[in-house]
Amino acid sequence: MSHPHPELGPPPPLPKGGLRVTPLGGLGEIGRNMTVFEYGGRLLIVDCGVLFPEEEQPGIDLILPDFSSIRNRLDDIDGIVLTHGHEDHIGGVPFLLREKPDIPLIGSKLTLALIEAKLQEHRIRPYTLEVREGERERIGPFDCEFISVNHSIPDALAVAIRTPAGLAVHTGDFKMDQLPLDGRLTDLRAFARLGEEGIDLLLSDSTNAEVPGFVPPERDISQVLHQVFGRARRRIIVASFASHVHRIQQILDAAHEHGRRVAFVGRSMVRNMGIARDLGYLKVPAGLVVDVKTLDDLPESEVVLVCTGSQGEPMAALSRMANRDHQIRIVQGDTVILASSLIPGNENAVYRVINGLTRWGANVVHKGNAKVHVSGHSSAGELLYFYNICQPRNLMPVHGEWRHLRANAELGAQTGVPHERCVIAEDGVVVDLHKGKANIVGKVQAGYVYVDGLSVGDVTEAALKDRRILGDEGFISIFVVVDSTTGKITGGPHIQARGSGIDDANFGALTPRLDEALAKAAQDGVAEVHQLQQLVRRTAGKWVSDTYRRRPMILPVVVEV
């Protein structure tokens, strides 16, 4: 199996008649999905999503794909195909359209409705092309066919991309639920037909490649929800992704059967469910959904709240309820259902929320103690079945961490794809399909681009390191005034600490060391401010390390008079 190497350099020019595939996100991570296809000097993008930050990225709101490799080629982009409406596939679109607002967006009805609502907040009116499964559209030199796939959101599509270089198929996220709530199956007949035609490169969802067997049907959750609803005596609070329409439908059905009213909490939840209801993807019985402001007029035994926060996001409704920082106060006897999976990396945040809710007396039902979630991604048994149908000549696992990508490649090899044609790439690694074979040919920049408030890309890894140090160790500020002629101290040092765990009164032992170091510097003729600041930082840092075994940030300020 081919895999990336650190020594990879920039890719060579694309050979004539070749198709270039460059993933800018989604490989080696769960999220930030974005793949660029190039043929004949034109570009087609499949998905443009975001990644949500982890604890070691304090203050960050979102993480975007790195657009730098295509920034000077925005006029070459013929369109962005969106496979479905999850944030990790559409969340980055507003930031790319900021740079060129007229790039066409191609997707299904629900997917386009969700991204249009998001773009409205950014004051961008996109050019869109609505497509359905079974349709073919010519997008520049790319002949695109759209195929129905089943996922945890309605209207998901795979895309088959035909060029003279061959047929490439991108599955998007998919599973093979044989009893889907909306009756919309993954179209195996279409994939079999494409397999007969000859799939030269298959880019396939890897998220559950390590999980044996088949994913249970979504409708299996219904019975568990009815049991939980039947036992609950007070309010029921359900946390789910704001785009999981099928899961919300089952919650609405259970609430209706048990005589409860439902209120949506959280801006994204209210917006997305409103869109799904207006377009007919969410069936809501009359009078079932009420405004959250009217809940005080209802008995607690008739209330269901549906909110965001199933991943422990600090600003989401459920986390704020657990922290007693929300208008809805958890009380003894409330039932909280976390109706979602755990995205890798979010485990600590989710368990922190569960503990917080339990502390206030809530009965918390989650995937670990009840079957309240099934995955939206194909497990190993489904992927084996899928590869036997498609029989791709080359396989490129996408959408997954390294362990998922490698497991997916192994499944492909088991079904007959030659090992050397199972291409395990990572973000930024360039793969060329040329003369029927996929090969890694180089690498482009594809680092993290951080969104912090209104700032996009301004926060660097160095800044995040500083934030982590400040959060873990605090800081010590040292203010010194020196004579510009002699270099001798004329004022200070004044020392203050915040978050370091060191009392200001204890810095009396540090002051003589600083005096001594600065006096020696003056004797040696060292008078440049930057050098003196470095000297203060080193002296104070060594004293703190030797005395307290800590490494706070040292902020020296040296002023000449």
Which residues line the annotated binding site for Zn(2+)?
84, 86, 88-89, 151, 173, 399
**Which residue is catalytic, options 170, 246, 366, 377?**
377
List all residues 6 or more positions away from 80 whose beta carbon is below 8 Å from its beta carbon.
45, 46, 47, 48, 93, 96, 103, 104, 105, 106
Q: What are φ and ψ of residue 328, in 5° steps?
A: -90, 120
Q: Which residues are annotated as a binding site for substrate?
A: 242-244, 373-377
Q: How far apart are the first and last CA of the chain?
A: 66
Report the relative pairing of strands 475-482 and 166-170 from DSSP bridges: unpaired
Rounded (10°) CA dihedral 286, 291, 292, 294: -90
Q: Does residue 205 have an active-site annotation? A: yes
Q: Which residues are annotated as a binding site for Ca(2+)?
A: 59, 61, 452
Is residue 252 a contact partner of residue 226, using CB atoms and an 8 Å limit?
Answer: no
Q: What are φ and ψ of residue 491, in 5° steps?
A: -160, 140
Rounded Cα distance between 411 and 422, Å, is 10
**Which residue is catalytic, options 205, 334, 427, 432?**
205
The pair of structure tokens assigned to 389 is 């149908």
Rounded Cα distance between 496 and 517, Å, is 19
The pair of structure tokens assigned to 84 is 């479905």
Rounded Cα distance between 170 and 147, Å, is 10
The SS3 of residue 517 is helix
Residue 512 is which amino acid?
P
DSSP state of 378: -
Q: Does residue 187 have an active-site annotation? A: no
Quick count: other Cβ atoms within 10 Å of Cβ 490?
A: 13
Calculate Rg over the CA atoms of the chain. 28
Is residue 206 a contact partner of residue 403, using CB atoms and an 8 Å limit?
Answer: no
List all residues 6 or more positions away from 227 whose beta carbon is below 8 Å from its beta carbon.
none
Pick the closest to residue 171 from 392, 3, 17, 344 (CA basis).
392
Q: Which residues are catalytic?
A: 205, 377
